[in-house]
Amino acid sequence: MEIKVYKKEDTYSYSLGAFPTLELLNKHTKDVIDIYVHSSFNNKEVKEKILAKLGRNFKTNDKLIEKLSPKENCYIVGIFRKYQDILDKNENHLLLDNPSNMGNLGTIIRSSLGFGIKNIAIIKPGVDYFDPKTIRASMGSIFNINIQYFSSIDEYKNQFKDHTIYAFMLKATNTLQTFKFKKGFSTLAFGNEATGLSDSYLDNNSIIIKHSNEIDSLNITNAVSIALYEFNRQNN
Amino acid sequence: MEIKVYKKEDTYSYSLGAFPTLELLNKHTKDVIDIYVHSSFNNKEVKEKILAKLGRNFKTNDKLIEKLSPKENCYIVGIFRKYQDILDKNENHLLLDNPSNMGNLGTIIRSSLGFGIKNIAIIKPGVDYFDPKTIRASMGSIFNINIQYFSSIDEYKNQFKDHTIYAFMLKATNTLQTFKFKKGFSTLAFGNEATGLSDSYLDNNSIIIKHSNEIDSLNITNAVSIALYEFNRQNN
């Protein structure tokens, strides 16, 4: 198997760096194809952890590591088969309608795990969450999260009829600062970085994070993390 | 005056793009040296706004615009004299101890303005907030904010003795989710992206944003925006 720089249609992807690769090994052991460790890497503890989890020796191929991570000081790469997650019906969800930036998506995945939401729906189109840029920005938290694509919001709604969707949008009349989330399963929904959620999401449960009119909008990763924080605050 | 690609020691900097440049013109009219508009830019409304604020004609120099913004589709550049802000003693503050990433700093400035905190202290060292990358990431909100450097946290404390400093750090025992900010002037303080705040900040007012132990820490811009949100929520 020749490992090339990632393309969306590949059946495998890879994690760059020690920390994300250890997360991969911990959570998706059976999907790991190979681990590559740079010949100059000499952290014995990390090497031993890799050996223990992998159950066989890692590989050394400095040229491959440099090819896959051209801009970064990266010493460990984990190659894995892309896998399919299914969202858990009995948990709260985050929903992203057509996210377009891989770095933002990774950062959002990390915040979501940080506030205990481990199921993320992506409405197509939307960036490829298996891209190494997203994995890197998530700092490996992607391996602890279920992510599933849906063709449309209707497909999602049909599968999760018990979930109340809270659509975060500038046109909403409810203000997060005073809003009370209902009991029961919840889905926090956010739109594309540039265009937000379409008007079809607007209903009695839509929410705006009130901010001064001196800015147009909050940065998307900040908005999502604020919503996750507030939801977490009310549920603890 | 020959305009070159920005260096920290320059006495001028520039805003890239229509929106940040209009913010510059609105808030710092007298600091504007020149406005350059690309010959292919034909938004009449924006051009008229520029003329009205500038009180004289803008310049056209496509090569200069392309030199200053090599990677971006940028049609408007505002050149301005760097100015000196002084923090307002009678307002709440945000304090950043040695921020190291210019994009993060810009995003934080935007969130801060969004939640009504218009005075930001930077403890040195710390990136140059007049760098065009910071201005761009702030989407021009930097021109609505007072920012001031301090050599040390002690220098800051000596000048703002009435401000209670709330240091956000992982070692804190107060949890933001249940914390009540006191009445009176407040300073929300955050550390460097990689190292956080030093132990010298730890006291009875230190706060942690509680998150699951499945992540190491929150992204710094997300952490700051959550703190700003919660502070805003309690003060409205």
Considering only CA atoms, give the Rg of chain A: 19
Instruction: Find chain A residues with C-beta within 8 A of B220's C-beta.
Output: none
Burial pattern B23-50, b for ≥16 Cβ within 10 A else e, equals: bbbeebeebbebbbbbeebeeeebbebb
User: Model confidence at A219, in pLDDT bands (50, 70, 90)?
Assistant: very high
Taking only residues 135 to 174 of chain A, the set having a beta carbon closer than 8 angstroms to any beta carbon of chain B reads 139, 141, 144
Assign A146 to helix, strand or coil.
Answer: strand
**Placement of tokens 């890879």 in the chain:** A14
**A6-32: pLDDT as tens digits:** 999 999 999 999 999 999 999 999 999
Identify the pLDDT of residue A1.
78
State the virtual CA torsion across B81, B87, B93, B98 in degrees, nearest 10.
60
DSSP H/E element including B123 = strand B119-123
Asked whether the whole model's pTM tops 0.90, one would answer yes
Whether B110 has its CB under 8 Å from any CB of chain A: the answer is yes
| Predicted local distance difference test score (pLDDT) of residue A71 | 73
**Token couple for B121:** 């202290």
Residues of B in contact with A216 (CB under 8 A): 139
CB contact under 8 A, B110 and A177: no
Out of B111, B211, B219, closest to residue A218 by CB: B111
Residue A5 confidence (pLDDT) above 70:
yes
Does residue B185 carry a pLDDT above 90?
A: yes
pLDDT per residue as tens digits for the range B34-57: 999 999 999 999 999 999 999 999
CB contact under 8 A, A219 and B113: no
Q: What is the percent of chain A where pLDDT is above 90?
A: 96
Average pLDDT over residues B223-228: 98
Query: Residue B72: pLDDT above 70?
Result: no
Backbone angles phi, psi at B200, to 5 degrees: -60, -20
Q: How confident is the model at residue A72 (pLDDT cuts 50, 70, 90)?
A: low
For residues A207 and A90, what is the distance between their CA atoms, to the nearest angstrom? 23
Average pLDDT across chain A, whole number: 95
Determine whether B211 is exposed, middle or buried from the number of CB atoms within 10 Å of its CB (0-12, 13-18, 19+). Answer: buried
Per-residue pLDDT band at A41 (split at 50, 70, 90): very high
Length of chain B equals: 236
C-alpha to C-alpha distance for B59 and A53, rounded to whole angstroms:
63
pLDDT at B2 over 90: no
